[in-house]
Amino acid sequence: MKFLDQAKIYVKSGDGGDGVVAFRREKYIEFGGPDGGKGGRGGDIVFVAASNLNTLIDFRYTQHFRARKGGNGAGSDRTGAAAAPVVIQVPIGTQIFDEDRETMLADLDEPGKRIVLCHGGDGGHGNAHYKTSTNRAPRRADKGWPGEERWIWLRLKLIADVGLLGLPNAGKSTFLSVVSAARPKIADYPFTTLHPQLGVVRLSVSEEFVIADIPGLIAGAHEGAGLGDRFLGHVERCAVLLHLIDGAAGDVVKAWRTIRHELEAYDPGLAAKPEIIALNKIDAMTPQQISSRRRALEKASGAKVVTLSGVTRQGLDDVLRLLQDEVTAIREAERDEAPPAATQWPEPTP
């Protein structure tokens, strides 16, 4: 399945049904009066977050969504039928933006979350609505109200607990394939990863977290170099960032500063997230190189640096335990800060 995280679509809710002009004509009733009914309501455009989707690829082939018009009114004061809503399923984590790509209209970040983006038009009144004591036989009926229409952008931001960052060939895909059941493409050339990958890490029966691997960043990514920084949106929802640095490449401090600069240029809020720095590929370095490059990183970043090897699995267990503890602590703090849910009172018994 191809991965697509942005799509532009057109949506239009249904127009309201028309009201009608009608009069009651019945034997032995001289003055039946007006009885034209109003039109039915047009269909809504509804977006729902579905847990069984993980890409927006369907919107590459279907880009226009229109709801049906409401039914017209009829005699005997009958209201037209309301049109059914058009329900559009999107992956969890999808954000809906206006055509300017800046105004966010909705954020579907929970399974089953629904939003009515375009409301259907109301039905027009029939002539029975305009009957008064002075106007006993109105011949006025209204057209239905038009529905809403707009072009919108859908942007998918994956829901993950840990975000993998690093330069190309830092060992991110190898790390993901070793600690989870994900099978990303792995090769000895840069930009092997062309779209985000997700993997689930299970430490025990009750402990697990989701890792998101995004394409590598290079200097100038915020200006469009390489694959750009667009994929950084997929780690915005993460609780903690795991910054993998290729220790065998040489200047580890420069590599760390390059990624930090791109994070700051993209979003200072993302750069402020908790970060765990990991010196990778220690199987390709001597003990003296590991020690010196680790000290250089700790001096430049002011944080503790962990070491690991995705190939030999050296240090992986300690890194995964550290990630699990960080994710658990941050998610518990977020739950404590969240406002209490509204009390659901039982329905009154008739």
pLDDT in tens, 319-329: 888 888 888 88
Q: Which residues are bridge partners to 9 per DSSP?
A: 152
Residue stretches of the annotated binding site for GTP: 166-173, 191-195, 213-216, 280-283, 309-311
Strands 240-246 and 162-165: parallel
From residue 321, alpha-carbon distances to 159, 215, 272 in Å are: 20, 25, 22
Name the band, by pLDDT with cuts 50, 70 and 90, for residue 310. confident
Q: Is the pLDDT of residue 346 over 60?
A: no
**Which domains does the chain show, CATH number per domain?**
6-156 (2.70.210.12), 162-337 (3.40.50.300)
Q: Which residue has the higher pLDDT, 187 or 152?
A: 152
- Report d(CA 138, CA 17) in Å as an integer: 19
First-to-final CA distance of the chain: 51
- What pLDDT is recorded for position 342? 46
12 CB-contact burial (10 Å; exposed 0-12 / middle 13-18 / buried 19+): buried
State mean pLDDT over 142-149: 93
Cα 5 versus chain centre, distance = 9
Residue stretches of the annotated binding site: 166-173, 191-195, 213-216, 280-283, 309-311
Q: Is the pLDDT of residue 187 over 70?
A: no
Q: Is the pLDDT of residue 205 over 90?
A: no
Residue stretches of the annotated binding site for Mg(2+): 173, 193
Name the band, by pLDDT with cuts 50, 70 and 90, for residue 267. confident
Q: Which residue has the higher pLDDT, 321 or 188?
A: 321
* C-alpha closest to that of 315 among 339, 283, 340: 283
Q: The pTM is what? A: 0.73
Question: How large a percentage of the chain has pLDDT more than 90?
Answer: 27
From residue 270, alpha-carbon distances to 260, 275, 310, 334 in Å are: 10, 10, 26, 16
Encode pLDDT of 88-98 as tens digits. Answer: 999 888 999 99
Residue 311, sorted as left (phi over 0), alpha (psi -120 to 50) or beta, turns out to be: alpha
From residue 57, alpha-carbon distances to 4, 7, 48, 69 in Å are: 5, 8, 16, 28
